Structure 1
Amino acid sequence: MSDSNLNPQPLPPQQPQYAQQPYGGAQPGWNTMSIVAFVATFFISILGIILGFVALSQIKRTGEQGRGLALAAIIIGFIALALGIIFTIIIVAAIAANPNVTYQGS
């Protein structure tokens, strides 16, 4: 039983493989959509939610910063939307519970 690989030839030294980074090695900047989503969610929550999901998709594809802002926009937007629905239900229920109250305008 002879092994033909008793004296293997040494492999040539390999150069380390580094992932290419955009912008000359600098880390990519902030995703603008995540910043817009975070700001918009305080004014129009549904817009912040939509833009937050779009920003997450862009960040996943490009590797930019801003994932936390996009997640915050989505979470705050859903909370604001839920609170708005709850308050609307409470107000409608309060008005429906007092049908005899009329508005005394000028």
Structure 2
Amino acid sequence: MTYPPTPAPDGSQPPPHDPLIQAYQPLPPYGSPQGYAPPQAYQVPAAQDPYAPGAPAPYGYAAGQQVPYDYGYAGSPYGYSQYPPGPRPTDGMAIASLVVSCVSIVGLCGFWLGGILGVVGAILGHVARRRIRQSGANGGGMALAGIIVGWVVTAIALTVGVVVGVLIANDPSSTTF
């Protein structure tokens, strides 16, 4: 768009631009017809105001005793939540269970090391799931994966141990007497 606007081919002029508006416009005077109503129109009558001087005290408070606001107190419908907003924390023992169980897979190369680490990972997973049920934290899936992987690796290590033991026992060259 050009400034000032150019006339159209038929010779007519486009309408003029709107005037600029200030970023901040002061409010009209208080009590004016364009402004806000005076405060008397919004005041609660003294007979209905529970905090007015001379008003009867609410149940549980002596006359003349200051009634506290209950914002933020436990049990208040206006109180803050017990937990901050956002995601719940992940249980550290669930993470440890999954890590130890995954390391036990590599430990299968070391025969007994994989089986021992598998048992440790599975036990950590069971403890983590109990803690998650009580606290409501995240990590239930990781704990379950740690349990499954840990017990599977332990079963593989025991199976390989039994097979190797049977093969050694049945080897004719291994007799010593």
| TM-score, normalised with respect to structure 2 | 0.44
Does 2:71 align with 1:71?
no
Superposition deviation, residue 61 in structure 1: 1.0
Corresponding pairs, count: 83
- Structure 2, gaps ≥5 residues long: 1-76, 105-116
Q: Which residue is 2:95 aligned to? A: 35
Of residues 83, 95, 112 in structure 2, which corresponds to 1:22? Answer: 83
The two structures, once aligned, show a CA RMSD in angstroms of 1.8
| TM-score, normalised with respect to structure 1 | 0.71
Distance 2:155 2:100 in 1: 16
- Structure 1, gaps ≥5 residues long: 1-15
Q: Which amino acid aligns with 2:129?
A: L
Distance 1:49 1:98 in 2: 35
Distance 1:100 1:26 in 2: 67
Q: Which amino acid aligns with 2:139?
A: G
Q: Deviations over 1:6-62 (max 9, x none)?
A: xxxxxxxxxx9xxx4512x22211111100111111331111011101110111111
Q: Which residue is 1:91 aligned to? A: 164
Larger relative contact order (CA 8 Å, sep ≥ 6): 1
Distance 1:31 1:70 in 2: 9
Looking at CA atoms only, which structure, 1 or 2, has the larger radius of gyration?
A: 2
Percent identity for Structure 1 against Structure 2 = 31
Q: Is this contact kept in 2: 1:45–1:81, CA < 8 A?
A: yes
